[in-house]
Every structure is written in structure tokens, then in C-alpha cells.
Amino acid sequence: MATNESNFDESGKLPRAVAAEITELIAREGSKQVVTLVRCKVLEGKDSGKILRRNVYGPTRIGDVIMLTQTEIEASSNKGGRR
């Protein structure tokens, strides 16, 4: 793997983050509804253009830009909780 494609910054200690724009608010989750399941589009990096589902904590709106450290894994949409 080339050094410029690494998942870490130049120091090798912090994970490299890529920008993603929120395109859709899917659902609010959690006991107090503070986590929002969103659909976002990756804007840069090797996965640019990829659309992912992610859990976002805090207030969010369509058009917000979030920074993702991982673009390979999607959030699951678990409706119903544990049993």
C-alpha cells in the first residue's frame, strides 16, 4: 500500500478522515432519540461517490458535512431492539 493511501495521517497516529455530505435523514434511534441514522455521500478519498448509512450523534440536517474515519462499514438499521 502506498503511503498516500494509508488510513492514517502523516504522523501515523491519527486516523485519516474523509468528508461526507448528509443526503437523507432516515430515522432517530436510541432511548432518548439522540442518535440519527442518516444516508450520506462520501465526497473525497478512494470511496468518493459511495453512499453509506451511518449513525450520527447530535443535531443533524440535510446538507451537513460529517467527517468519517471509516468508509468500508455501514450502519445497520435495527428496528425493534433486543429480545
Whole-angstrom Cα distance, residue 39 to residue 54? 6
Backbone φ/ψ region at 52: left (φ over 0), alpha (ψ -120 to 50), beta: beta
Q: Which whole number is the average pLDDT over 8-35?
A: 84
Give how many domains the chain has, as a whole number. 1
Query: Is the pLDDT reported for residue 5 higher than 80?
Result: no
Q: What's this model's pTM, rounded to 2 decimal places?
A: 0.73
Structural domain boundaries, residue 55? 18-68
Whole-angstrom Cα distance, residue 54 to residue 26? 10
What are 51-76's pLDDT values in tens digits? 999 999 999 999 999 999 888 877 77
Residue 6 covered by a domain: no
Q: Which has more confidence, 14 or 60?
A: 60
Residue 44 covered by a domain: yes
Q: Which has more confidence, 16 or 18?
A: 18
Whole-angstrom Cα distance, residue 41 to residue 79? 23
pLDDT at 1: 40
Whole-angstrom Cα distance, residue 46 to residue 4? 11
Residue 5 covered by a domain: no
